[in-house]
Amino acid sequence: MQNQNNSRRRFIKQAGLATVAANLTIFAGTKAEPMSAEQPFIHHVYFWLKNPGSKEDYQKLLEGLKKLSKVKTIHQHYIGKPADTRREVIDSSYSVSWLLFFKNKADQDSYQTDPVHLKFVEECSNLWSRVVVYDTVEAV
């Protein structure tokens, strides 16, 4: 258990969530499962555009994501595109990468139903043909 605690503290420190770490220290001896409630949450979305050659559609999606980044429960966000690396294991077929860090799962849940998110889906979902999402929490 000590090892798990140390490992989680390292993960939280790496994620830059010092305030969360402080809360965990305070709560560790007083609640049943305080750590899982405050576990940092990584949400990585890959979009494939319907018209991957359309610079206009690409820019529309980027603009939509910039607006979406205003959702208050997002801790950090990164809007990306495929790097120019090419190896057998690399999937570079997507158009846009949308990587989010949340302080905990509750913040991610809130993001899913945030009006700004719903408006983004309404305005931009016609642009993509495929979306793949990987949701990740710390491995222990």
Q: SS3 for 122?
A: helix
Strand-pairing partners, residue 43, are 100, 135
Q: Which helix (H) or strand (E) holds 108?
A: helix 105-113
Q: With binding defined as CB under 8 A, does residue 121 bind a second copy?
A: no
- For the record, the structure tokens of 27 come out as 């709560």
Among 9, 60, 73, 105, contact with a second copy (rule: CB under 8 A) = 105
Among 57, 108, 111, 127, contact with a second copy (rule: CB under 8 A) = 108
Q: Which is nearer to a second copy, 119 or 134 (CB)?
A: 134
Q: Which is nearer to a second copy, 79 or 116 (CB)?
A: 79
**Residue 96, Cα to own-chain centre: how many angstroms?**
13
Q: Footprint of a second copy on this chain (CB under 8 A)?
A: 11, 14-16, 41-42, 44, 46, 62, 76-83, 85, 87, 89-92, 94, 96-97, 99, 105, 108, 131-139
